[in-house]
Amino acid sequence: MWEGTDASRAVARTLTALEQADLLPGPGDIYKFVPDPDDVAAVHKLAHVRRVTGHNLWLWYWPSDDEVRVVALTDEPP
């Protein structure tokens, strides 16, 4: 059993689901610009976003054939 907070366990479940997915992005995943609160003039990058079930947390990621790279975890919807 995973330790930590309910939110951290939910994030871990979401990461595991991404890792085990046969096809990404999955149904319900969206494609948006990654927010950069420190630099509003920065060049923004696109990433897929998946909501962490049961929480106001959003996992931003880039999938490839070999890996899923996590870009950000935010507490504001895209």
Task: Supply 67's token pair.
Answer: 């890996």
**What is the per-residue pLDDT across 21-68, written as a single tens digit (0 to 9) for each?**
999 999 999 999 887 666 666 667 889 999 999 999 999 999 998 899
DSSP state of 57: -
Number of Cβ within a 10 Å radius of residue 20: 8
- Mean pLDDT for the stretch of residues 67-73: 92
- 34 touches 71 (CB < 8 A): yes
